[in-house]
Structure 1
Amino acid sequence: MHDLELEQLDVKTAFLHGELEEDIYMQQLEGFIVSEKEDYVCLLRKSLYGLKQSPRQWYKSDGSFVYLLLYVDDMLIAAKDKGEIRKVKAQLSEEFEMKDLGLAKKILGMEILRDRKASKLYLSQKGYIEKVLCRFNMQSAKPVSTPLAAHFRLSSALSPQSDDEIEYMSHVSYSSAVGSLMYAMVCSRPDLSYAVSAVSRYMANPGKEHWKVVQWILRYLRGTTDVCLQFGRTKDGVIGYVDADFTGDLDRRRSLTGYVFTIGGCAISWKAILQTTVALSTTEAEYMAITEACKEAIWLKGLFSELNEDFQISIVFCDSQSAIFLTKDQMFHERTKHIDVRYHFVRDIIARGDIIVSKISTHENPADMMTKSLPITKFEHCLDLVGVHC
């Protein structure tokens, strides 16, 4: 959106010291107490662990912004001006052993591809996915067009029943495979959300049929290694889409919540998760899903506020008119009195105007792919709506 410079660093040690503006005193450290001055205190010259001021002093600057993303020892740094980045690098190098990796190309298994002339940035996990396919001997498997076919009907009844099947599954790396799929789904592949949600429910005792579904997902990845998220410039704020699948879980008849949030038509946050209680109607399931999506919308607004991007109102689209009506109905009656109070907080959020919940056609709701298996045409349309491209 702002065509920022984006570079990468490798940090060998951890904490970032900032200059303090207030006078802060600290008791002398155990083992470093000056004799005959035991009642003295230390005046801090720089911030330390535990101070409320530490993160604030790091982020504060002279009106310009430097965004610094840190995960253990991997760091991305973004700023409008290369000079600002050089300054931060110099400051860090004075304090810590640093490795300057130049322009950002890869972080945590995610490849960053950038076309600045076209104002596009692509996030891909092609290399990671190819390694996963090799690890599970699926690099030559026949590709399939969707992550989960409609003929699969998973339940705990498919867990091993015979000694032979128990023996067979003891040699299958089911948990490792699902964990590998989960990492791809979390980072850059919202198209995997529903399928990964389904297979992850049986980690404790998977059967052959469950393993077939995991292999099916790997076959889908075999044909979609080039898929990536495509980000571009936009003036749009955060837009969310939410859907629910009523009693989709065959074991406990719980419903599934699915949502995806976009900026400029590209996914930035997504989830497919079983609801914690059993819904008594489709409307109730959709209502609980809207609540979860609105919680995420509130968090995203707070995040963008910290990043100095002020999106005043977030829009969440839902394809259930009755559930939308329920979010605006302040009356409690027979149909709603049993719903957990925590789901009703969404009414206050909507009444205040912080978030708008609007109706959308099911055919134009990309969250559909987060809650059910779809025909290939509809599935590809959903991917297009959230910026997932080859």
Structure 2
Amino acid sequence: MDVKSAFLNGFINEEVYVEQPPGFQSFNFLNHVFKLKKTLYGLKQAPRACEFEMSMMGELNFFLGLQIKQLKEGTFINQAKYIRDLLKRFNMEETKTMKTPMSSSIKLNMDKKGKSVNSTMYRGMIGSLLYLTASRPDIMYSVSLCARFQSCPKESHLKTMDIGLWYPKGDNFELIGYSDADFAGCKVERKNTSDTCHFLGHSLVSWHSKKQNSVALSTTKAEYIAADLCCAQILWMKQTLSDFNLIFEYVPIKCDNTSAINISKNPMQHSRTKHIEIRHHFLRDHAQKGDITLEFVSTKDQLADIFTKPLSEEQFVDIRRQLGVIYL
């Protein structure tokens, strides 16, 4: 809870004196000081001096656009009202329901000859959809891809965005990461997209889809950089969970590229891998320390694939189900 001016409203029992602040001097008593009745910012007593009564307003069911259902099976989060408001705001209430956020045949580029659309509206839509990804990981790739064209959006970019809604649940309690990357998926700069997702038990708790900063010369480097990003997030999660006495000796990162896995285990450099920047060997360092381990997973079972590219309806629905995205 954040209470404005909380440190200015607490009464103190000790005698604390302060100089007369500039602009508030009493010219009749210039050699006097003020005695504090209430706390000020910077006083060590301030955090404990502010007290006020609170009322129990019942079980939380709505917070910052998130609708919350607390059931015995688990806590479920959705943004159905936010979706309806969003559709109304952008005059999309009559839009037909789509089975996937983006067709697997779509290849977006700058489309310089295409018809321009209102960039302010387009950016507003992107920002709104990015907030929606808090409960909809399955639209993460589509929104991130469309966000790359905010400087000069065209009709072809605007037509790619469609919406729906649900959220996850689970019971097993392991920490697992999945990392994946496309190869030269960006048709403008030929850069790759790093994609990761992380499970605590069966619950999806973190996901990421971001264009890499450099052009990779091979799928191996692209996958290795994505696994490096996944490792950094895993280490942060391990540290946070340790504060709750949840200790994980090593965390598996599922990767579908055997060459990237081998680089993480073998410190030797080869002609095809010596160009990989030292900073990306952060992954290999923590693999050797035993903090994480890279494990092979087939492309069919790679759950991060949904953040990498548009999928067919069958693949999309299957991975979405495994991510824990369900109808309420």
Deviation at 1:100, TM superposition (A): 4.4
Q: Under a length normalisation based on structure 1, what TM-score does the superposition of the two structures give?
A: 0.72
Residue 269 of structure 1 corresponds to which residue in structure 2?
206
Q: State the SS of the aligned residue for 2:68.
A: strand
Per the alignment, do residues 331 and 386 of structure 1 end up closer, same or farther by CA in structure 2, a change over 3 Å counting? Answer: same
Residue 114 of structure 1 corresponds to which residue in structure 2?
70
Alignment of 1:24-103 (within 5 A): 31=21, 94-95=51-52, 100-103=56-59
Deviation at 1:238, TM superposition (A): 1.3
Amino acid at match of 1:113: K
Q: State the SS of the aligned residue for 2:176.
A: strand
From 243, 255, 279, give the equivalent of 2:192. 255
Deviation at 1:368, TM superposition (A): 0.4
Higher strand share: 1
Are the counterparts in 2 of residues 231 and 264 from structure 1 also a CA contact under 8 Å?
no
Does residue 182 (structure 1) correspond to residue 148 (structure 2)? The answer is no
Name the CA distance, whole Å, in 2 between partners of 1:50 and 1:241: 47
Are the counterparts in 1 of residues 192 and 215 from structure 2 also a CA contact under 8 Å?
yes
Q: State the SS of the aligned residue for 1:257.
A: strand
Name the CA distance, whole Å, in 1 between partners of 2:97 and 2:214: 36
Does residue 173 (structure 1) correspond to residue 134 (structure 2)? The answer is no
Residue 324 of structure 1 corresponds to which residue in structure 2?
261
Does residue 195 (structure 1) correspond to residue 142 (structure 2)? The answer is yes
Larger displacement relative to structure 2 (169-178 or 126-135): 169-178
Higher helix share: 1
Name the CA distance, whole Å, in 1 between partners of 2:65 and 2:32: 53
From 91, 109, 130, give the equivalent of 2:84. 130
From 354, 362, 373, give the equivalent of 2:291. 354
Residue 104 of structure 2 corresponds to which residue in structure 1?
150
Are the counterparts in 2 of residues 266 and 388 from structure 1 also a CA contact under 8 Å?
no
Unmatched 5+ stretches in structure 1: 1-8, 18-25, 59-90
Deviation at 1:230, TM superposition (A): 2.4
Name the CA distance, whole Å, in 2 between partners of 1:191 and 1:27: 59
Name the CA distance, whole Å, in 1 between partners of 2:219 and 2:65: 39
How high is the sequence identity, in percent, across the aligned residues? 32
Name the CA distance, whole Å, in 2 between partners of 1:30 and 1:250: 65
Deviation at 1:49, TM superposition (A): 5.5
Are the counterparts in 1 of residues 231 and 283 from structure 2 also a CA contact under 8 Å?
yes
Q: State the SS of the aligned residue for 1:291.
A: helix
Alignment of 1:6-21 (within 5 A): 11-13=2-4
Q: State the SS of the aligned residue for 1:377.
A: helix
In the alignment of these two chains, the number of paired residues is 312
Residue 231 of structure 1 corresponds to which residue in structure 2?
169
Q: State the SS of the aligned residue for 1:178.
A: helix
Q: State the SS of the aligned residue for 1:299.
A: helix
Deviation at 1:35, TM superposition (A): 8.5
Q: Under a length normalisation based on structure 2, what TM-score does the superposition of the two structures give?
A: 0.85
Are the counterparts in 1 of residues 119 and 152 from structure 2 also a CA contact under 8 Å?
no
Name the CA distance, whole Å, in 2 between partners of 1:367 and 1:50: 49
Per the alignment, do residues 14 and 28 of structure 1 end up closer, same or farther by CA in structure 2, a change over 3 Å counting? Answer: closer
Q: State the SS of the aligned residue for 1:344.
A: helix
Deviation at 1:122, TM superposition (A): 0.7
Residue 157 of structure 2 corresponds to which residue in structure 1?
210
CA displacement, residues 46-102 of structure 1 (integer Å, 9 cap, x when unaligned): 996698x99xx99xxxxxxxxxxxxxxxxxxxxxxxxxxxxxxxx97x24x756432
Name the CA distance, whole Å, in 2 between partners of 1:319 and 1:272: 17
Deviation at 1:107, TM superposition (A): 1.6
Amino acid at match of 1:198: L
Q: Which protein has the larger Cα radius of gyration, Structure 1 or Structure 2?
A: 2
Per the alignment, do residues 153 and 312 of structure 1 end up closer, same or farther by CA in structure 2, a change over 3 Å counting? Answer: same
Q: Which portions of structure 1, spanning 4 or more consecutive aligned residues, are displaced by more than 3 angstroms?
A: 14-17, 26-30, 32-38, 46-51, 97-101
CA displacement, residues 272-321 of structure 1 (integer Å, 9 cap, x when unaligned): 11001000001110001000000110111122123443333222111111
Name the CA distance, whole Å, in 1 between partners of 2:200 and 2:218: 32
Amino acid at match of 1:362: T
Residue 311 of structure 2 corresponds to which residue in structure 1?
374
Are the counterparts in 1 of residues 171 and 202 from structure 2 also a CA contact under 8 Å?
no
Are the counterparts in 1 of residues 180 and 195 from structure 2 also a CA contact under 8 Å?
yes
Per the alignment, do residues 37 and 47 of structure 1 end up closer, same or farther by CA in structure 2, a change over 3 Å counting? Answer: closer
